[in-house]
Chain A
Amino acid sequence: MADVQTERQTASGGMAFGLTRETVVKWAPLLVLCVLIAFFAIMEPRFFSVRNFARIGISSAPALMVAVGVTFIIIMGSIDLSMEGTVSVSAVLFAFAFLALGGTVASWAWIALPMALIVGALIGFLNGLVHVKLRIPSFMASLAMGFVGTGFALLLTGGDRIRIEDELFRSLLTVRWFNFPIMCYVALAFVLIAWFIQSRTTLGRNFYAVGGGEELAHASGLDVNRVRIMGFILAGVFYAVGALLAVGRIGIAETATGNNFMFVSITAVVVGGTALWGGIGGVWNTLVGVLIVNVINNGMVVIGLPGYVQQGVLGILVIVAVVLSTDRKSVSFVK
Chain B
Amino acid sequence: MDSIAKTIGLDFERVRQHLPWVTLVLLILVVGLADANFLKPQNLIGMAADIVPLFIMAMGLTFAIYIGGIDLSAQSVANMTTVIATVSLATFGIGAALICIFFGAVLGGVSGFVTTRLLVPSFVSTLAIGGVAFSIGEWLSGQRALYMDATMRDNAFGWMVGNTAGIPHEIFIGGVLLVGAWFLQSRTTFGRALKAIGAGELAAVASGLNVDRIKIMAFALSGAFAAIAGLLFAVKLSGGSPTIANGFLLPAIVAVLVGGTPLTGGVGGVINTLIGTLIVAVIRSSMLYFEIDATKQQMVFGIILIVAIAVTIDRSKLSVVK
- A and B touch in their complex, CB below 8 angstroms: yes
Bits for B53-77, please: 1 = Cβ < 8 Å to A, else 0: 0000000000000011110000000
Q: Which of A130, A144, A266, A333 contacts B127 (CB 8 A)?
A: A266
> With the chains together, A319 CA to B119 CA distance in Å?
10
As a 0/1 sequence over residues 287 to 313 of chain B, the CB contacts with chain A under 8 angstroms (1 = contact) are: 000000101111111110110011001
Which listed residue (A77, A81, A137, A315) contacts B130, Cβ 8 A? Answer: A315
Contact present for B310 and A136 (CB under 8 Å): yes
Contacts of A78 in B (CB 8 A): 322
Among A154, A270, A314, the one with the most B-chain Cβ atoms within 10 Å of its Cβ is A154
Residue from A137, A145, A306 in contact with B321 in the complex, judged by beta carbons closer than 8 Å: A137
Complexed CA–CA distance, A205 and B134 (Å): 38
| A301 at the B interface (CB under 8 A) | no
**A4 at interface by CB-CB < 8 Å:** no
Contacts A263-B127, A315-B128, A315-B129; is A214 near B320 (CB within 8 Å)?
yes
Closest partner residue, chain A, to B134 (CB atom): A311
B162 close to chain A: CB less than 8 A: no
CB under 8 Å from chain B, chain A span 263-300: 263, 266-267, 270, 276, 278
B309 contacts A141, CB within 8 Å?
A: yes
User: Does B322 contact A137, Cβ atoms closer than 8 Å?
Assistant: yes
- Interface: A11 (CB within 8 A): no
Check A148–B303 contact: CB distance below 8 A: yes
Query: When the two chains form their complex, are residues A334 and B131 in contact, meaning their CB atoms are under 8 A apart?
Result: no
CB closest chain-B residue, reference A328: B119
Which of B20-28, B84-92, B136-144, B175-183 lines the interface with chain A?
Answer: B136-144
- Interface code B208-239, partner A: CB below 8 Å = 1, 0 otherwise? 00000000000000000000000000000000
Closest to A225 in B: B321
Q: A151 — which chain B residues lie within 8 A by C-beta?
A: 295-302
From residue A308, how far is it (CB to closest CB) to chain B in Å? 4
Is A215 an interface position by the 8 A CB rule?
A: yes
User: Is A195 interfacial (CB-CB < 8 Å)?
Assistant: no
Q: Knowing A136-B309, A136-B313 are in contact, say whether A77-B322 is a contact too (CB < 8 A).
A: yes
A114 interface residue (CB < 8 Å to B): no
Residues of B within 8 A of A303 (CB): none
> Which single residue of chain B is at the shortest CB-CB distance from A150?
B298
Q: In the complex, which residues of chain A have a beta carbon less than 8 angstroms from the beta carbon of B300? A: 151
Among residues of B, the one whose C-beta sits closest to the C-beta of A270 is B124
Complex: how many Å from CA A137 to CA B136?
31
B211 to chain A, nearest CB (A): 8
In the bound complex, residues from chain A placing their C-beta under 8 Å from that of B128 are: 267, 314-316, 318-319
B31 CB–A CB distance under 8 Å: no
- The contact string, 1 if C-beta is below 8 Å from chain B, for chain A 304-322, is 0010111111111011001
User: With an 8 A cutoff between CB atoms, is A159 at the interface?
Assistant: yes
How far, in whole Å, are A134 and B315 apart by their CA atoms in the complex? 10
CB distance from A307 to the nearest CB of B (A): 9
Establish whether residues B318 and A334, one from each chain, have CB atoms under 8 Å apart when the complex forms. Answer: no
The reply to whether A331 and B124 contact each other, CB–CB distance below 8 Å, is no
Question: For residue A130, which residue of chain B has the nearest CB?
Answer: B306
Look across to chain A and name the residue whose beta carbon is closest to the beta carbon of B143: A308
Q: Which among A262, A315, A331 has the greatest number of chain B C-beta atoms within 10 A?
A: A315
Q: Report yes or no: B306 in contact with A319, Cβ–Cβ below 8 A.
A: no
Q: Does residue B241 face the partner (Cβ distance < 8 Å to A)?
A: no
Closest A residue to B201 using CB positions: A333
Please name 17 further chain A to chain B contacts, defined as beta carbons within 8 Å, in addition to the given A134-B306, A154-B295, sorted by A numbering: A140-B70, A141-B309, A146-B302, A151-B295, A154-B298, A276-B121, A308-B139, A314-B128, A315-B131, A319-B118, A322-B120, A326-B118, A326-B120, A331-B119, A335-B68, A335-B121, A335-B122
Can you spell out 27 A-B residue pairs with CB atoms less than 8 angstroms apart?
A79-B123, A131-B321, A132-B321, A135-B315, A135-B318, A136-B310, A137-B313, A138-B321, A144-B306, A145-B302, A146-B302, A151-B296, A151-B302, A154-B299, A158-B295, A214-B320, A306-B139, A310-B135, A311-B131, A314-B131, A315-B127, A318-B131, A319-B125, A331-B119, A333-B202, A334-B121, A335-B115
List the interface of chain B (C-beta within 8 A of A): 67-70, 114-116, 118-125, 127-132, 134-136, 138-139, 143, 201-202, 250, 263, 265, 293, 295-303, 305-306, 309-310, 313, 315, 318, 320-322
